[in-house]
Structure 1
């Protein structure tokens, strides 16, 4: 996604927020009062109005009902999401990643998007879209790589990743591409852009069998959890649920090997793939 496109989309979200503020004030409602009627906090309404956070579709629909705006915010939301290279259910996650001060991920089968190389991302996209055009695949790859740029920023979030060993062993894109993907992870660790731990096969059963999770923490907002299913995703911010997910993440961290030993495992797997590629 080009920087100009992102800037244009951000300006459109700022228009969304300005209209929300204007119409809320015309209705004589405070942020807290509107939030109570659409089942979010007043602080969230303030963040929507400042284009810091983007509402989910059901919230935009409830805002239309309360403010009697005849579907204005739903239509604007759908237009903004349609213009995004990301799936509608993932767009909010991308926005939150840019705001997070810490991102903690557990990846049970594949390398997380923020750490993917172009070859790896392309192989993942092709596997899920075998009949798509090259243009479609490349657009999706560019969008995924654009997300990863937050780890290059001076104000980048603390990024903690727990990879199940399975994510190191499946040759996505072939042996050579997988070797380069693992080298990229090792480099990110050495440059202190990411802290990576590996949950080895030998650890056996663990508290998140087959389930990916992302915990995003913010400077001035409560943490949010993202989980994903087949062509769907869920953002969870109910405090009790988030607390349980964070406790599960702590258990995974305890079961994983140390960062130093994890780096050695990543580098060893990369070497295995390099040797495999050289013999084929």
Structure 2
């Protein structure tokens, strides 16, 4: 049996072992190797190890001696379960509804906690969509708030909806749940893309070439999952472009983004053809504006980086600002009204320097040979 190294490097996985978050490997025969440095009798939990490159960082030996990774485990045993990266829109709306009912009843969080014999933080977590109460406890809260009988059934239906897994559940192993859930529930998405095309406008070939640049060592099986998720994400968010669009997508692009080659000439040519088809379709809710390179548009937008501003129809769901980083862990989501307003103003002003929607792209597929 492999043994734990006495002086492991200061990585997150090794700290987990030293702090007892992984079971003691000496208690069982066989073990799992985390980063090829640590052992544990159980498959490693990627949420504890902060693992993103499943195939390279986490591997273990199966009982038959075969070397396995989280990616192969996902293909053989189903996707690896991970916690939410943020509450769903349905859960946020449910929590906001509980807060409105409590305030309408004239009760504080402390008084509610005393009535239900819980700590004050418990009802606060329910209202902030950090945890989900069970139906029995929701019934107790509705009694405290003197909720009419005809409304109780609707609240319980909203609770059941908030507990349902999202459509992305089959791909939860590779999904950025917070971003995907917000996009799927949005009625309007405004995007500024200064570097590469936004995910929702990428063809499969373009997306695959971009993934290869970002992580050339990624397991092909994991990459296929990401590509499948991208196609499903586009379908659920902006529709198929045949008059069945869902959210309105308004994208502001720098011309340099279109000229920046991702993949081969054929990949870029087909990507431009796809964008042109979206622009030419008057039924589509996708709007694309391209900022010419010589236009002296405000510097402020250039400091933003890739961003999205999302608007929702649900009552109590304010606009969200998403700043997209190179790695999912660097993506930031905020509902701060001042931040959202500043970024929206920067996008509004800059869009005035670009030709209107339906304007043909400044280059075509022929420019890539």
**Fold conserved between structures, TM > 0.5:** yes
Moved more, 98-107 or 142-151: 142-151
Q: Which runs of structure 2 are paired with 1:1-280 in the superposition (5 Å)?
A: 28=115, 37-38=124-125, 49=159, 83-86=172-175, 90-149=176-235, 150-152=237-239, 154=244, 156-191=246-281, 192-204=284-296, 206-209=299-302, 211-220=305-314, 221-231=317-327, 232-261=330-359, 263-265=360-362, 268-273=363-368, 276=369
Q: Go from structure 1 to structure 2 and tell me whether the alpha carbon gap of 1:40 and 1:249 turns closer, same or farther (over 3 Å shift).
A: farther
Q: Go from structure 1 to structure 2 and tell me whether the alpha carbon gap of 1:121 and 1:270 turns closer, same or farther (over 3 Å shift).
A: same
For residue 83 of structure 1, report the CA deviation from its aligned partner: 3.6
Q: Go from structure 1 to structure 2 and tell me whether the alpha carbon gap of 1:120 and 1:187 turns closer, same or farther (over 3 Å shift).
A: same
> What CA distance in whole angstroms lies between the structure 1 residues aligned with 2:346 and 2:259?
24
Q: Counterpart in 1 of 2:147?
A: none
For residue 35 of structure 1, report the CA deviation from its aligned partner: 9.0
The 8 Å contact of residues 125 and 140 in structure 1, kept in 2 or not, is answered as no
Q: Go from structure 1 to structure 2 and tell me whether the alpha carbon gap of 1:203 and 1:223 turns closer, same or farther (over 3 Å shift).
A: same
The 8 Å contact of residues 116 and 145 in structure 1, kept in 2 or not, is answered as no
For residue 270 of structure 1, report the CA deviation from its aligned partner: 2.2
Q: CA RMSD, aligned part only?
A: 4.0
Q: Go from structure 1 to structure 2 and tell me whether the alpha carbon gap of 1:102 and 1:253 turns closer, same or farther (over 3 Å shift).
A: same
For residue 257 of structure 1, report the CA deviation from its aligned partner: 2.0
Question: 1:39-64 CA distances to partner (integer Å, 9 max, x unpaired)?
Answer: 9768x98899465599xxxxxxxxxx
**Of Structure 1 and Structure 2, which has the larger fraction of its residues in helix?**
1
Q: TM-score, normalised by structure 1?
A: 0.68
Moved more, 194-203 or 142-151: 142-151
The 8 Å contact of residues 165 and 198 in structure 1, kept in 2 or not, is answered as yes
Structure 2 portions without partners, runs of 5+? 1-77, 96-108, 133-154
Moved more, 127-136 or 152-161: 152-161
For residue 111 of structure 1, report the CA deviation from its aligned partner: 0.8
Q: TM-score, normalised by structure 2?
A: 0.53
SS of residue matched to 1:198? strand
Considering only CA atoms, is the larger Rg found in Structure 1 or Structure 2? Answer: 2
> What CA distance in whole angstroms lies between the structure 2 residues aligned with 1:36 and 1:28?
11
Q: Go from structure 1 to structure 2 and tell me whether the alpha carbon gap of 1:34 and 1:98 turns closer, same or farther (over 3 Å shift).
A: farther
For residue 164 of structure 1, report the CA deviation from its aligned partner: 0.9
4+ residue runs over 3 A deviation: 24-29, 33-42, 44-54, 80-84
Question: 1:132-185 CA distances to partner (integer Å, 9 max, x unpaired)?
Answer: 222122111111122111322636011111111111001111111101001111
The 8 Å contact of residues 193 and 306 in structure 2, kept in 1 or not, is answered as yes
Q: Report the number of matched residues.
A: 227
Question: 1:176-196 CA distances to partner (integer Å, 9 max, x unpaired)?
Answer: 110100111111222224110
For residue 264 of structure 1, report the CA deviation from its aligned partner: 3.6
